[in-house]
Amino acid sequence: MDLKSSHVSPVLTDPIPVNKSRLGIHSGLLTYSQPDSPGKYSRTGSRKSAGSSLDDVRFNGWLDAMKASSPPRKKLLKGSNPQVASIDYDIDDYLSFMVDYPSALDSFEKIIDRAKSKKVAIFLDYDGTLSPIVDDPDCAFMSEAMRTTVRSVARYFPTAIISGRSRDMVFDLVKLTELYYAGSHGMDIIGPFRQNSSNNHPNCVKFTEHQGKEITLFQPAREFLPMIHEVFTTLLEITKDIKGAKVENHKFCVSVHYRNVEENNWTAIGQRVHDVLKNYPRLRSTHGRKVLEVRPVIDWDKGKAVEFLLESLGLNDCDDVLPIYIGDDKTDEDAFKVLREGNRGFGILVSSMKKQSNAFYSLRDPTEVMKFLQLLVNWKRQEERKHGEKYMSEL
Ligand SMILES: O=P(O)(O)OC[C@H]1O[C@H](O[C@H]2O[C@H](CO)[C@@H](O)[C@H](O)[C@H]2O)[C@H](O)[C@@H](O)[C@@H]1O
């Protein structure tokens, strides 16, 4: 990706393909009143004009996806922690999944074979990767052991966290200054400053930290801030009567959680989000783990954020760089895809269930992620020790 030469805003101008087909499927019943005024930043009517039946089809697709993010549990492995929300271990499925996406722990030798004499860069998702999935998003804490491990990783490799949460929120959870952070699915990045790189992009602001370090703030969806705030307020209001619903403002995107909502209310929650978005053709919704994520329609995602950070780090088009991205949900697929298609590194999917992915390897849960990161650190330490010994013997 050459951000430098294009200087094109990632904001797309005409996001909604107009499909005129009418399939005549009736929509679900609304149990709430839509706000009279669509709000200052919305553009009423443009989605509605595509026909309500088309909306119904789209909505039904949403409902399927909402259900798909919550597959039924079958056989639970022993020793599961009851406080951890989603341990959907099905042993048979998991074993067949491992054939397609081998364990990164079992394949560690193979991985370091590729890493030898390369600069390894580490990209980490937060929820479900560094912290276990729990019922309350405010309580998704990472363990001290994981924090210590991530700190060691950052000592040896350039390391960034790329999360759907707001950048401030993910920093408050991780609390490590040694890393780079990208919040709101990569739409809010704090990265290193590099002259003559994508940092010259118009959406980049360079500034100097209090310790004197020059850094770059990149926010490609800045113009959406008031719109996102407005949508957040609306979604908060119209879901407040649904028990268990939770709406989070992540600055450049909004999360609507239904993990704690009774399944027979999922239609209502999906329908309300869907109806609000009819008034905002420049926003779309994606599916995470029992969460609908409302975000700007811009050509920017976690994959683009990886490319941006690699370029900022001076690691973009080198054959001697091996980026590794570890993540657990659909939004991480954009990053896996960038690495797979560019044949430049690989993704590791954190999952205990069978899934289709652009990743190459898998890890079952954050505990395995921590083991993998520790193996990487130990390997790097040994490499450095070997080089040190070789250097001394040559003196
Ligand atoms: O990109 P990520 O760092 O993985 O963030 C994705 C979403 O993570 C959070 O929600 C998820 O984790 C919660 C805590 O374990 C869980 O309760 C929820 O069901 C999951 O969807 C976060 O709250 C969302 O805003 C992020 O978009």
Does the pLDDT at position 45 exceed 70? no
State the angle between helix axes of 52-68 and 266-278 in degrees (0 to 180), rounded to the nearest 10: 130
Which ipTM score applies to this complex?
A: 0.99
pLDDT band of residue 66 (cuts 50, 70, 90) is: confident
DSSP state of 330: G
Q: How far is the CA of 135 from the centre of ligand 1 (A)?
A: 10
Q: Is the CB of 255 under 6 A from ligand 1?
A: yes
pLDDT band of residue 58 (cuts 50, 70, 90) is: low
* Averaged pLDDT, 337-341: 95
Protein residue closest via CA to atom 14 of ligand 1: 137
Closest listed residue to residue 283, CA positions, set 252, 249, 306 = 252
Name residue, tokens 């040190």.
Answer: 388
Q: Is the CB of 186 under 6 A from ligand 1?
A: no
Least confident interval from 150-159, 316-325, 335-344: 316-325
Does the pLDDT at position 57 exceed 60? no
CB atoms within 10 A of CB 278: 21
Q: In angstroms, rounded to a whole number, what is the distance separating the alpha carbons of residues 128 and 86? A: 9
Q: Which amino acid is at 112?
A: I
Q: How far is the CA of 30 from the centre of ligand 1 (A)?
A: 27
Q: What is the SS3 assignment for 246?
A: strand
Q: Across 10-14, 47-51, 163-167, which has the greatest mean pLDDT? A: 163-167
Q: What is the pLDDT of residue 310?
A: 94
* Averaged pLDDT, 282-296: 96
Q: Are 130 and 91 in contact (CB under 8 A)?
A: no
Report the Cα–Cα distance between both ends of the chain, in Å, rounded: 43
- The residues that bridge with 322 in the sheet, in sequence order, are 120
Q: In angstroms, rounded to a whole number, what is the distance separating the alpha carbons of residues 72 and 357? A: 20
Q: How far is the CA of 73 from the centre of ligand 1 (A)?
A: 20
Q: Which two tokens stand for residue 107?
A: 């394949």
Q: Are 350 and 369 in contact (CB under 8 A)?
A: yes
